[in-house]
Structure 1
Amino acid sequence: MRRANFKTSPRMLLISVGRLAGRRALTQLTPCCSRFNHNSSASSENDDQNKAPAEDSESLDDDRQHVFRAYNVITQAKSVVKLEYSQKSIKRFRRDYTLPPEAMVGLRNAVLESDLPAKVLQHDADQLLQQLDQRRFPASPEAVKETRDELKAKLQEDEPHNDIELGDGPIADKVKQAQEYSLRRKVDRIMKKTHFNWKPLNFHNQQTALAYALCRLAPNYAEVARVLEEFNRIPDYVPKSVLDYGSGVGGAFWAIFQKWGNQVESYTSVDVSDIMTQLSMDIMRKYSPVLDTESASPLLHKSSSFRRHLVPSPSATYDMVIVHRTLCELGSRQSRLELIDTLWKRTNKYLVLIDSGLVDSFRTILECRDFLLTEGVHLADNIIPYLQQNNAWTPLIESPLKDKEMSRLEKYALISEQLPHLKLPTVVEPATVFAPCPHDLGCPMVSTMDSCTFDVHYRPVRADCKRYKQERDDGRMATRMSFVIMEKGLRQPGPETIRLIENRTRNRHNVCDVCTAYKGLQRFTVAKSDGALFKMIKARNQGEPLPLTMNVLESNELDFDINEEPNSEGGEFESSDKNPKNSKK
């Protein structure tokens, strides 16, 4: 097939229009923002979009007291806090994440080699995108059965002839069977229109795989690239080996490759779909930027491997394991936790879990997080033989171990303090939250109907040169996600950090919700008169860590763990003030 000249600018990637000898040529594959900012050159555009904002260089005036009134969003407890700049600066995250030009080239060539017109593929992609945006996690069998029973009872009440006695006999039995069959059909039709009609994604041919790549490659890349920004706080960190479980069309690969390139010594993609794996390989192929022909090296990454399942040997471990939008494809809670347990054993340092921004996705991410945190301090059944073998079984150790009123964490902490030279056996290896939580406690949002999700902006890609309805004037779209990065080991002592959860811009002031290490969700107001502090917070995106330390000077909060202890009425926490108001400085 004849190939068209191709510009590698991420804002303008065009494919020629034409029909040669009755054969179709792809009309156009371009980021939807290509109609804007045509006056910039390709090189400057690429540099501007891939360049992260500089580190915060401003500092607060030492002669000013940045003291604010704040209150806990959950407990409504009021406090007086003081904000100070931390000693370690934190690099700001990027505003948007554009798919790398190499990925654009690979996707374009994959679409060109397809037998279907680009408009047909794009139409399928638009239909698939609507389904994926509202894709829910499968409900538990208990919830499905309860819903079916409620629907069945309601339909039976609405039946006009449900009170007629049919009596006994073969004819009456057939009538009852017909009524039962009709009732089941009605219940099935209603259930299919709800999120209880869950089915795993099935990409049975190249057309569905290409449609998925057109609608999800760019946002998938943006989500993983945004999460990888969290590692900016570790200078010179590069994982030597990466496992992408449920790799799909390779969105995580492009985020890893753009951030660390070939510094990653091995990259392993695992996906049960051979069609998706083949398409991912096609997009990863290296093409000449001038002649647009295949070069000698087949893939961009020098050491990439593709598998349908994990390596059977448990000794095959990876510095970083990424699970991106894969947990939704598992049919039960038990299977998800078993997968997390398996992947945690294959993890050397970091396990990255990313899913959509729906509430049930957030609950599942939180469920996996809490599983690793709680089971990581749950002493294994062989703890007593292990201690006896190491000559550490003493009455001082036996007392907390056999105390039934003591929690798992308390037992683990006391025994670890007494035996610092021993690595205690636990159900899973101990874990701590690297991001986004600044703590290992329970999530304060559990008691609310809200979820901890973050928006990520990206430049969408289309094959028909049209626009999405959700697209902004500057050509950007937003995808919402929830994520957690789990790190092996226990949390080490260090400076406390706070994370910006909500940043509401008002007239000459910002209302900020921040997640703290020990004080839950705190809300305070920063005015324009606060100078450098106001400018810094206003420039930060939702979900970014703030280079600040928060010291509580005064508080009327009750002395209990706000993340674990609701009141007797359930749901809400005790508060000394039922109607708090936003307080200004």
Structure 2
Amino acid sequence: MASIFKLDTTGHIMLAPRLFLASTHLLQRFTCKISAAVEPAVLTDLEQAVIKPRKHPGVIRPNHIELPKQLSDTLKRIVGDHPVRKVLRDSELLNRYIKSRHPPPTTLEIENKKRLIVEEINAKMSLDRLATLSPEEAARWQRKRELEINKRLDQRTYAWKRIEYGAYEAIVYAIGRAAQEYAVMKRVLTELQLRDERFKPRSYFDFGSGIGTGMWVASELWRDSIFEYYNVDRSREMNELSELILQQGQENKQVELRNVFYRQFLPAIDTKYDLVVISHTLFEMADKQQREEILLNLWRKCEGYMVIVEEGTRRGSELVNEARRFLLHAGDEHAGQTLAPCPHDLRCPRLNDLADRTPCNFEISYVPLRLTSESSGDRKSSVYSYAILKKGIVEDASRTWPRIVRPTLVRSKHSICRLCTEGGNLQEVIFTASKHGKAAYSCARVSRWGDRLPISLGTPQIKPKKLPSEPETDSKPKSTEPTELA
């Protein structure tokens, strides 16, 4: 019998392709199939052409946001006599710094880092040497060792500090962050309005209100119902600038909104508010204990919805999910549920795998503020993490619809969606018209990152599929070149 093996010039074992394929009949590959049924009411509307697939109820708009002209003109006005180029340069530096921030390291994190550093130093400066040194030499050697440990610990520990905003820094923040934060808040609060059309907040509370971007959006969406805006920011200059923006940059101009209040600290009174917002503020808190104390205080003041928003970095996503988990377990008297983005109240599946550094975030497109003719007016994009929590029970029948957590991959005759499901899992579904129906396929094809799909997913069915024992034959001659085994 002729040998099926052959050695190439490097001495590697080679196997002819036909014999290699014939030998793989013992191997198996696994395929995953999952059913997807469109919600009956949505399916009826799609079939009767009442709605088009691109306007199905799971689509969240807007995807691209621009500052209203009045706000844009006001922000240009507040720059005043400050050199425009310097303001733009400083705002870019501030924006980069905010996007790269970490929360303060915990005591446990510092202890773990120090333990690893001590092990490194022990390998280099063994304690056994102390027995061979005189008392004075041992003391000097020990001090040198401690200095090296502390030096390495300082180098590897994030040097957190709170950002202090004076009058100039507040203007820099407004110029660099207003367009982006407005776009994020517009997207998040618009989803809340669409998901609960009966929600008409009478009062608004913003902790870490900054220049008032959350208030701008809330006043646009619920101007007729909100009668009180309560803003808390530890920076007096930020509060003054926020009020000046409401006055359209003119100090003597009457504010159009009614009952707008500013404070530097949380009020001690137990007044309840329908809509509570904490946006881009968690990074400013000194430790986890302070975060939990403030979050619980805000949750107690909430009588409707609480909105938490942060940068869409890994650290920002972790802080939002930490806050969400803490509030959902705050006790029966403060029971609540998640409205968005999660279709469940379970732990975020992104955080279950410690090796996966992918954040749970979403993307928004916006137009940056243009201060000069040289400024770019092109679109920019930003990622954000958020959570909308409902005090009490969420009365939204569509709450369990899966959320698209990464860009939809549209291909020929199929679309791939990465979904977060009501079971607290990440599920990738390849939609085709033949397997899932035209309605489900059309909805998946036009949906974007951050949208929800109005479908219910079945249980994934995994079944083995044997590879063919013989290759398919065709009219073209097969190559007889040997194939290298891995």
Larger Rg: 2
Task: State whether residues 438 and 515 of structure 1, in contact with CA within 8 Å, keep that contact through their aligned partners in structure 2.
Answer: yes
8 Å Cα contact 2:163/2:284 also seen in 1 = yes
Residue 104 (structure 1) aligns with: 72
**Residue 266, structure 1, aligned to residue 228, structure 2:** yes
Residue of 307, 317, 322 corresponding to 1:362: 317
Q: Does residue 1:499 correspond to 2:467, yes or no?
A: no
Q: 1:550 aligns with which of 452, 456, 480?
A: 456
Size of the aligned set, in residue pairs, is: 416
Single out whichever of 445-454 and 479-488 deviates more from structure 2. 445-454
Number of the residue aligned with 1:95: 63
- The answer to whether the aligner puts 1:232 opposite 2:194 as a matched pair is yes
- Which residue identity is paired with 2:388? I
TM-score by length of 1: 0.64
Closer/same/farther in 2, CA of residues 493 and 369 from structure 1, 3 Å limit: same
**Contact 2:204–2:229 (Cα < 8 Å) also in 1:** yes
Distance 1:262 1:118, change over 3 A: farther
Output the amino acid matched with 1:430. A
Deviation at 1:500, TM superposition (A): 2.1
Distance 1:225 1:149, change over 3 A: same
**CA shift for structure 1 position 464:** 4.5
Name stretches of at least 5 consecutive residues in structure 2 with no aligned partner. Answer: 1-29, 46-55, 467-486
Offset, 1:434: 1.2
- Aligned position for 1:540: 447
In structure 1, the partner of 2:483 is: none
Q: Displacement of 1:264 after TM fit?
A: 1.6
Q: What TM-score comes out, normalization by structure 2 length? A: 0.76
Letter of the 1:263 partner, please give it: S
- Give the residue type in structure 2 aligned to 1:108: K
Q: Deviations over 1:425-477 (max 9, x none)?
A: x3x41101111122223333333323321011111124344457xxxxx8111
Deviates more, 1:77-86 or 1:366-375: 77-86
In the TM superposition, what is the alpha-carbon distance from 1:532 to its structure 2 partner? 5.4
Task: Give the distance between the partners of 1:507 and 1:77, measured in 2 at CA.
Answer: 20
AA in 2 matched with 1:127: L
Q: Distance in 2 between matches of 1:300 and 1:492?
A: 34
Aligned residue in 1 for 2:386: 483
Q: What secondary structure is seen at the aligned counterpart in 1 of 2:239?
A: helix
**CA distance in 1 between partners of 2:244 and 2:396 (Å):** 46
1:313 maps to 269
Q: How far off is 1:513 after superposition?
A: 2.1
Q: How does 1:369-518 map to 2 (within 5 A)?
A: 369-376=324-331, 426=332, 428-448=333-353, 449=356, 450-466=358-374, 475-492=378-395, 494=397, 496-502=400-406, 503-518=408-423
SS of 2:65's equivalent in the other structure is coil
Report the AA paired with residue 133 of structure 1. Answer: K
1:329 alignment partner AA: E
| Contact 1:222-1:255 at 8 Å conserved across structures | no
Q: Counterpart of 2:210?
A: 248
Q: Say if 1:86 and 1:359 are closer, same or farther in 2 by CA, change over 3 A.
A: farther
Q: 1:258 to 1:275 in 2, by over 3 A?
A: same
The one-letter amino acid of 2:276's match is V
Q: Cα RMSD between the aligned structures?
A: 3.2
CA distance in 2 between partners of 1:175 and 1:92 (Å):
64
Cα 1:173–1:522 shift into 2, 3 Å? closer
How far the C-alpha of 1:510 sits from its partner, in A, is: 1.4
Q: Alpha carbons of 1:118 and 1:550: their partners in 2 closer, same or farther (altered >3 Å)?
A: same
Rounded to whole Å, the distance in 2 between the matches of 1:169 and 1:84 is: 80
Contact 1:432–1:440 (CA under 8 A) maintained in structure 2: yes
Query: Which shows bigger deviation, 83-92 or 328-337?
Result: 83-92
Q: 1:198-217 residue pairs with structure 2 within 5 A?
A: 198-203=160-165, 205-217=166-178
Structure 1 position 175, deviation (Å): 5.6
C-alpha distance in 2, partners of 1:356/1:578? 44
SS in 1 for 2:415: strand
**Is 1:148 aligned to residue 114 of structure 2?**
yes
Cα–Cα, structure 1 residues 514 and 174, in superposed 2: closer, same or farther, change >3 Å? Answer: closer
| Greater fraction helix | 2
The 10-residue stretch of structure 1 (143-152 or 174-183) with the greater mean CA deviation from structure 2: 174-183
Cα shift readout 1:48-102 (whole Å, capped 9, x = no counterpart):
xxxxxxxxxxxxxxxxxxxxxxxxxxx9964333334544962641121112222
Asked if 2 retains the 8 angstrom alpha-carbon contact of 1:286 and 1:295, the reply is no
Q: Deviations over 1:20-64 (max 9, x none)?
A: xxxxxxxxxxxxxxxxxxxxxxxxxxxxxxxxxxxxxxxxxxxxx
2:37 to 69, 75, 82: 82
Q: CA deviation at 1:233?
A: 2.6
Question: 2: distance between equivalents of 1:327 and 1:511?
Answer: 34
Report the Cα distance in structure 2 between the residues aligned to 1:275 and 1:526, rounded to whole angstroms: 52
Change (3 A) 1:499 1:177: closer
Structure 1, gaps ≥5 residues long: 1-74, 288-292, 377-425, 469-473, 558-575, 580-585
- Name 2:147's counterpart in structure 1: 181
Question: Quick one: percent identity of the two aligned structures?
Answer: 24
- C-alpha distance in structure 2 between counterparts of 1:146 and 1:306, whole Å: 42
Structure 1 position 147, deviation (Å)? 1.0
Counterpart in the other structure of 1:121: 87
Match of 1:342 among 297, 302, 307: 297
CA distance in 1, matches of 2:310, 2:130: 51
Partner Cα distance (1:157, 1:465) in 2: 60
**How far apart are 1:349 and its partner, in Å?**
0.6
Does the C-alpha gap of structure 1 residues 107 and 429 become closer, same or farther in structure 2, counting only changes over 3 Å? same
Q: What's the secondary structure of 1:263's corresponding residue?
A: coil
1:362–1:452 Cα contact (<8 Å) kept? yes
Match of 1:520 among 407, 411, 425: 425
Going from structure 1 to structure 2, the CA distance change for 1:285 and 1:494 (only over 3 Å counts) comes to: same
Distance 1:577 1:364 in 2: 40
